[in-house]
């Protein structure tokens, strides 16, 4: 494989001569970008971590097979892709049905920033700066079969030539091109028609204000105000819990039925995941004398309204760098 847009790795003649610590140092340089690649493939932060570790083990044991026809980075990407496909093959056949997904976890922006801080010219850094890490993209990807998913990510996200993808997957170029067309059609079916408003820049003042209104209304358990912030066709889900609510009325009815209005004292911490705004909510627990993690709402905002809410369980908080408890009345709105 050529993939010569990637920085060069070691010469083929030298890779097999490296001891394990030296090999590990070389591979570790690519850990974050490989983690993001596996995350796109799998939709799971934790599975991506395990898969990257598996990738490094496979690479070490197969180091003699590196022939230098591709860069070291491209070679690692190939191993990571196969490791991801192996894991996907072990999952239940239907990971995504009826518009909902089961295999989805958020990715903290603070870790994505590690990529763009290293080298803004790297293909992976450019891809992260685009829309291919947003949750809507990840949701759409989860609806694709594993191999078309791999083809789409390698071709459209990482920019690999069709012949290199074909060689990696053991397919013909025609098969790869056909899989790519099917994958693109599947993505068009599931991706939102409009882009999100959030860019994390100064021009996001209106979006920040909307997030503040959403947070204030949530803390006040003010269902009517929250409803006014939602677009009529809003979508709401809580992976991995089954159930996708579509439409303002359905979402609000679900909140009321779940007892949202009687939750009790809450506090909120603004954050961002997958390049979109999010709010971490904490609920007061008398037994602990503190506010403990409740849920994290990742918001998609388009046209000045909330078009999608993905709610994640409290066990995501440590991975996201969020406090494990709040002992004071904290309500920080500096998103």
| The token pair that represents 158 in the structure block | 């990482």
CATH number of the domain bearing residue 96: 1.20.140.160
Assigned domain for 326 exists? no
DSSP code at position 253:
H
Query: Tokens 């010569």 identify what position?
Result: 4
3-state DSSP percent of the chain in helix, strand and coil, to 5: 50, 20, 30
Predicted pLDDT at 71: 87
Whether the CB-CB separation of 69 and 128 falls below 8 Å is answered with no
Predicted pLDDT at 131: 83
Assigned domain for 327 exists? no
Element holding 212 (H helix, E strand): helix 205-219
Measure the CA–CA gap between 276 and 306, rounded to whole angstroms: 12
Last residue of a domain, one of 155, 190, 225: 190
**Neighbour count for residue 52 (Cβ, 10 Å):** 25
Same domain, 206 and 185: no
**Neighbour count for residue 310 (Cβ, 10 Å):** 25
Within 8 A by CB and 6+ apart from 64, the residues are: 15, 16
Strands (E), the chain: 96-97, 100-101, 230-238, 241-246, 266-273, 276-285, 290-302, 305-313
Same domain, 281 and 173: no
Same domain, 240 and 157: no
Same domain, 180 and 208: no
Assigned domain for 133 exists? yes
Same domain, 234 and 281: yes
Q: Structural domain of residue 250, as residue ranges? A: 202-320
Predicted pLDDT at 91: 82
Assigned domain for 240 exists? yes
Measure the CA–CA gap between 284 and 109, rounded to whole angstroms: 27
Measure the CA–CA gap between 88 and 153, rounded to whole angstroms: 15
Same domain, 154 and 183: yes
Measure the CA–CA gap between 105 and 313, rounded to whole angstroms: 9
Predicted pLDDT at 11: 47
Residue by residue, pLDDT tens for the chain (335 residues) are 434 433 345 544 467 677 888 888 989 999 999 999 999 999 999 999 999 999 999 999 988 888 777 789 999 999 999 999 999 999 865 545 556 677 899 999 999 888 765 554 565 555 555 689 999 999 999 999 999 999 999 999 999 999 999 999 999 999 999 999 999 999 999 998 887 877 666 667 889 999 999 999 999 999 999 999 999 999 999 988 888 899 999 999 999 998 998 898 999 999 999 999 999 999 999 999 999 999 999 999 999 999 999 999 988 898 899 999 998 655 454 44
Assigned domain for 272 exists? yes
Predicted pLDDT at 3: 43
Measure the CA–CA gap between 2 and 315, rounded to whole angstroms: 41
Same domain, 132 and 20: yes
Element holding 189 (H helix, E strand): helix 173-190
Q: Is 27 helix (H, G, I), strand (E, B) or coil?
A: helix
Within 8 A by CB and 6+ apart from 288, the residues are: 325
Closest CA to 154 of 248, 247, 80, 261: 80
Query: Tokens 């004398």 identify what position?
Result: 289
Assigned domain for 197 exists? no
Same domain, 170 and 233: no
Last residue of a domain, one of 162, 190, 218: 190
Same domain, 162 and 221: no
Same domain, 55 and 175: yes
Last residue of a domain, one of 166, 190, 214: 190
Domain total in the chain: 2
Assigned domain for 334 exists? no
CATH number of the domain bearing residue 277: 3.10.450.50
Element holding 315 (H helix, E strand): none
Same domain, 242 and 183: no
Assigned domain for 4 exists? no
Same domain, 158 and 225: no
Query: Tokens 């603070």 identify what position?
Result: 110
Q: What is the phi-psi region of residue 7: left when phi exceeds 0, alpha when psi lies from -120 to 50, beta otherwise?
A: beta
């Amino acid at each position: 494989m050529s993939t010569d847009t990637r920085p060069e790795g070691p010469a083929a003649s030298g890779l097999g001569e490296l001891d394990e610590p030296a090999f590990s140092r070389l591979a570790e340089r690519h850990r974050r970008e490989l983690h993001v690649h596996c995350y796109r493939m799998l939709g799971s932060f934790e599975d991506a971590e395990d898969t990257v570790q598996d990738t490094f083990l496979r690479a070490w044991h197969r180091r003699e097979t590196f022939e230098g026809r591709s860069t070291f980075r491209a070679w690692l990407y190939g191993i990571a892709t196969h490791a991801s496909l192996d894991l996907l093959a072990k999952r239940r056949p239907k990971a995504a049905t009826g518009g909902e997904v089961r295999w989805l976890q958020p990715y903290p922006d603070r870790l994505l920033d590690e990529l763009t801080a290293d080298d803004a010219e790297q293909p992976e850094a450019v891809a992260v700066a685009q829309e291919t890490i947003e949750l809507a993209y990840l949701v759409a990807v989860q609806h694709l079969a594993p191999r078309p998913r791999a083809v789409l990510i390698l071709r459209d996200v990482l920019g690999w030539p069709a012949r290199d993808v074909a060689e990696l997957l053991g397919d013909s170029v025609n098969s790869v091109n056909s899989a790519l067309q099917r994958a693109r059609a599947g993505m068009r079916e599931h991706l939102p028609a409009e882009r999100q408003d959030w860019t994390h820049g100064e021009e996001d003042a209106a979006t920040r204000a909307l997030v503040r209104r959403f947070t204030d209304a949530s803390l006040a358990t003010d269902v009517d105000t929250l409803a006014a912030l939602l677009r009529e066709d809003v979508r709401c889900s809580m992976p991995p819990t089954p159930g996708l609510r579509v439409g303002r009325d359905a979402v609000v009815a679900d909140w009321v039925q779940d007892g949202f209005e009687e939750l009790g004292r809450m506090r909120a911490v603004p954050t961002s995941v997958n390049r979109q705004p999010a709010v971490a909510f904490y609920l007061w627990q008398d037994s602990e004398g503190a506010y403990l993690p409740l849920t994290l709402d990742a918001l998609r905002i388009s046209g000045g309204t909330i078009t999608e809410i993905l709610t994640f369980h409290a066990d995501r908080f440590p991975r996201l760098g969020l406090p494990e408890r709040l002992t004071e009345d904290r309500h920080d709105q500096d998103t």
